[in-house]
Amino acid sequence: MADTPVEYIQHHLSNLTFGKHPEMGWMLAEKSSQAAEMGFWAIHVDTLLWSVLMGVLFLFVFKKAANKATAGVPGGLQNFVEMCVEFVEGMVKETFHGKNPVIAPLALTIFVWIFLMNSLKWLPVDWIPELAMATGLVNYFKIVPTTDPNATFGLSLGVFFLIIFYSIKVKGGLGFIKELSFTPFNHWIFIPFNLFLEILGLLTKPISLALRLFGNMYAGEVVFILIALTFGAGWIMGLLGLGMQWIWAVFHLLVIPLQAFIFMVLTIVYLSAAHEDH
């Protein structure tokens, strides 16, 4: 474990990384410096693991609700799932102006999956990392995937590829190029300027999606870690930290679903624009 507050913070913000070290070959990084030396293609094992687990949990819960669905008096799980589906369906109807049966299931998946990944933030920052390190197999173990830019950029790039795909599918390749070339100024002399603006705007969509989610989740995680430091500073500071921990956790009752909602809504808006032929 870390000996100083700075080391404690750095430790809790470091991922379990697997990759090819230039000197030691394929390995799990034992130090943050080793992880940095592994380069771009290193894998954050903890981020990947918890992302998959939350995805499996989403599929399990919704599949279970579907199997037990009844036309009679619904149970609590069925009510919850139906509320989620109706909520997302209503957002798609209000926001998406094209016709595509994929958008609603995609929006539901994005909302619930990101919400589940964000909700791991409610677990105390020391519990699972210390349990993982107690096995003697790992030195680092983060559990909130959305505090890792690799996860948020992975999600946003998936949305970006769908934007490009549907833009070309709906408008055609030439239609998409024409839209980029003649928007916002419909004259050939402005084509270079239009292309610069439109391509820049297109590229900022995945960047803004990823950074907005990552920034909010990462900042919240840092605050939780700082509050956790108070538990080792005497009983007075420990009581103060306990109060702050509770207040910050309650505040995240709003932040966690809000960030999932924003990512979902922006995805729907971007895909709606991709289906519109200007």
Give the residue numbers annotated as catalytic, written as ranges: 208, 212, 216
Q: What token pair was written down for 145?
A: 């995937």
Contacts of 178 (CB under 8 A, 6+ apart): none
For residue 256, give the nearest of 151, 122, 83 by alpha carbon.
122
For residue 266, give the nearest of 209, 200, 202, 198 by alpha carbon.
209
CA dist., res. 184 & res. 195, Å (int): 10
Q: Phi/psi at 28 (nearest 5 deg)?
A: -85, 130
Bridge partners, 89 (sequence order): none
Residue 184 near residue 278 (C-beta atoms within 8 A): no
